[in-house]
Structure 1
């Protein structure tokens, strides 16, 4: 894969802060020194989880959003490798595979003479190329009997996750999405706002539950679409946290009831976490604790197929904060599945 960068032992060693008397996560993870065939390399390894990053924000740009999500992977892996490896964090079950990167495609969007309208059109074509890579990687990992943990990029990558999983399992899959937005916009060219609508229209997504939808950022036409489709349900943030007509735990149970009849993917959009540096950072959203509770709850279910954490957009000042938060979610997910 031309856009894939393998995470090597040398890369790992550069990032681990060794400390006497401590055992770090990065000292016990598994790595692939050389990669020829992804499926063959993964299937023979005694690991349960395969972590990879997506360094892109082209899908967010294509949706008229703010860039920065391409930096989430680097911020995360730096922290994840340095969490403690102990009885609660069993790093030997984890393979860090590497990351997809699209700096060349992104540079093409800034060509002199390219209008904003044409840039958007080009970006949407580029997202289709990213879709192919994500689909392939997720498909290989699931066919190999492992659980993908996908970090970074825009929520456009939900499409590749869903398609890759559906093709690997030879059936439609369900999804529960922790998000302020439905990402069910019209099929107007691929971008971060329509990954789920494309996956649904193309027959890869069956039941879809949106956890925490914000009423201020969902159009009336979109509400009409969501309300007429029986395969889609949602619990709004306002009903849970403002009007309290629906409890947080009650919403978790409703989401589980909707998707747990079959295998499902777990999507976490960092836009839904209050003051989390992200492409659409919100001053009013779920707490970091609630995000962790959400992941912990669904990760305990035998039917969960993958975890995707997206849309975080760290700066130099906030990269540690973002890396720590995403690392908490990753280790919460693995710990809950193991227990």
Structure 2
């Protein structure tokens, strides 16, 4: 892991006060940690750890628009100035990045798995920042390294990402690869894709989903009018599961709100509908980890996509705090 691991660089941002904690912003309160060293923290609090995955190789192999390797920095820049309203109920940590600059995606995914395993072993809730959606394979491998259970996967995505692995994996093969891992280890494979576009997936991919028991909800079936029905389907999927790993590909969102993605979607989902569904998943108390992938700054007009993702992260943390306080 060490040759791909970069410890964090402190964020900078607006400072309204250096003494009034009620005026502090995230960049003034985040704790920066090195995963190769011991960490001190209060285990009575909700401890959340960010980790970036600076990688474009999976998108490149999938013939997508490259640029997501700079996504973690872009998201962090937008998060830096959020008000530190999570205090005193949570602590935020930043553990830096896993990088992939040499094209060896498989090694980078293994390094990511090791980093995720360390984060979990330290008692943190992981929030990973992509990077291409190939982040999902390394993230999942890290989640199952030392756990007795295999989390179910909920993927907000315009693509099923169940493509066959021909020679090497990409940003379109991860959940097929995860299915293969589960089969080899005799583990349950539970996967739901929310927001899949019929124009973005071949019939072969839908056939693959059905053949392995994967669930999906099409984008065309998700709207404000159908929100309750969609929410019910998601909760039916969650009901008998012990843990949920949530992964969000920003290409699930409408291009009007999220132009800075690897595969832009003109008929993507409304951001508020997605956010409300994310909150409903958190409210089950089963969420064990989260990543957000494929923010591509080179295509991101006025940093709209990065800012939207940063708002999602802000809302996720507040929802996790609310859940903890109500337990």
TM over 0.5: yes
Matched, 1:295 2:278: yes
Tell me the TM-score normalised to structure 1 length.
0.84
What is the RMSD of the two structures over their aligned residues, measured on CA atoms?
A: 2.3
Q: Does 1:161 align with 2:139?
A: yes
Do the aligned partners of residues 74 and 264 (structure 1) sit closer, same or farther apart at CA in structure 2, a change above 3 Å counting? same
SS at match of 1:171: coil
Superposition TM-score, scaled by structure 2 size = 0.87
Question: Which SS does the other structure have where 2:177 is aligned?
Answer: helix
1:131 lines up with 2:135 in the alignment: no
| Secondary structure class of the residue paired with 2:158 | coil
Are 1:239 and 2:237 counterparts?
no
| Match runs of 1:178-327 below 5 Å | 178-188=156-166, 189-203=168-182, 206-230=189-213, 232-241=214-223, 247-260=226-239, 261-275=241-255, 276=258, 277-315=260-298, 318=301, 320-327=303-310
Deviation (angstroms), 1:42:
6.9
Relative to structure 1, the CA distance from residue 200 to residue 319 in structure 2 (aligned partners, 3 Å threshold; closer, same or farther) is: farther
Among 84, 91, 96, the alignment partner of 2:94 is 96
Equivalent residue, structure 1, for 2:16: 19
1:338 maps to what in 2? 321
Distance 1:311 1:162 in 2: 17
Distance 1:310 1:55, change over 3 A: same
Which structure 2 segments of 5+ residues have no match? 323-327
Sort the Cα spacing of 1:27 and 1:167 in 2 relative to 1 into closer, same or farther, 3 A. same
Give the 4+ runs in structure 1 shifted more than 6 A: 42-45
How far apart are residue 238 of structure 1 and its match?
1.2
Per-residue deviation at 1:91?
A: 8.1
Question: Contact 1:156/1:195 (CA < 8 Å) preserved in 2?
Answer: yes
Deviation at 1:317, TM superposition (A): 5.9
Aligned to 1:4: 5
CA contact (8 A) 2:90 2:321 kept: no
For 1:171, which of 122, 140, 149 is the aligned residue?
149
Q: Distance in 2 between matches of 1:79 and 1:31?
A: 17
| Matched residue SS, 2:71 | helix
The 2-side partners of 1:197 and 1:222 are apart by 10
> What's the offset of the Cα at 1:313?
0.8
- Measure, in 1, the Cα distance between the counterparts of 2:272 and 2:191: 23
Distance 1:215 1:89 in 2: 43
